[in-house]
Amino acid sequence: MSLKGKTLFITGGSRGIGLAIAVRAARDGANVAIAAKTADPHPKLPGTIYSAAEEIERAGGKALPILCDLRDEAQLAAAVEQTASTFGGIDILVNNASAISLTGTLATDMKKYDLMNGINARGTYMAGRHCIPHLKRASNPHILTLSPPLDMRTKWFAPHVAYSMAKYGMSLCTLGWAEEFRRDGIAVNSLWPRTAIATAAIKMVGGDAAMKASRTPEIMADAAHIMLCKPSREFSGNFCIDDIVLHEAGVRDFSSYAAVPGTPESQLAPDFFLPDDLPRVG
């Protein structure tokens, strides 16, 4: 199980889950392109494409920081081609970039709607469209999208319909592409956390209380690593949950992933969009 020599194109990735996935791959000796729009330090958000590249290099990988607004097709297309020409191809696309606003319809203006759907649903589709020609030439190609299992219950839509549409738009790409590109041997899967994950986005939405009830991004990175090492022709079209992936790989103790050490599993906050019949693990 190694990603040594593989090339990953990760949207977002200057911080949080995307960066954790990048660093985990780098520990294997992977090449990682970080395509994100944070070039200068943000007063409220940690990390830039350049600080991410430094972490990737320190972990043992090769990094390519690319300034890219995922909503701009010309920028995205250029970023994909720069990655392919630098590393000789692309093996893995990680659709990590996402925008969130947990607001109702009357509180969500069209600027917010366009931002979320432009980055989440449209950005995922566009990244796939430009990366897939390269993935078709790879030996074990994967697309991994950080999006939830498809669940059409009204409780996931009524409180924040615009955000839900944007996230499920990402999941619909997984559903469609897994079948569309099955003959090409491209694995297309989604990964979603059981609990809140301690990222800048969670802190912005839920404050310190949410951070204390979260797991670290490393649980998503470790689960993603397992998925990306699987044979692409044998593992596609799945909507996976982080700790279930790890449990199936033999992990039984998840306490090391608590953002606050010693936090009982019962005190961790569940994420959105989880099925009611999700099995417990650990």
Residues marked active site are found at: 163
Helix (H, G, I), strand (E, B) or coil at 212: helix
- Residue 35 bridge partners (DSSP): 11, 66
Find all residues with CB under 8 Å of 267, minimum gap 6, and list them. 213
Helix (H, G, I), strand (E, B) or coil at 62: strand
Q: 15-50 burial by CB neighbour count: b if 16+ within 10 A, else e?
A: bbbbbbbbbbbbbbebbbbbbbbbeeeeeebebbbb
Contact 79, 68 (CB under 8 A): yes
Contact 94, 123 (CB under 8 A): no
What is d(CA 248, CA 17) in angstroms, rounded to the nearest whole number? 21
Element (H, E) at 66: strand 62-67
What is d(CA 32, CA 181) in angstroms, rounded to the nearest whole number? 23
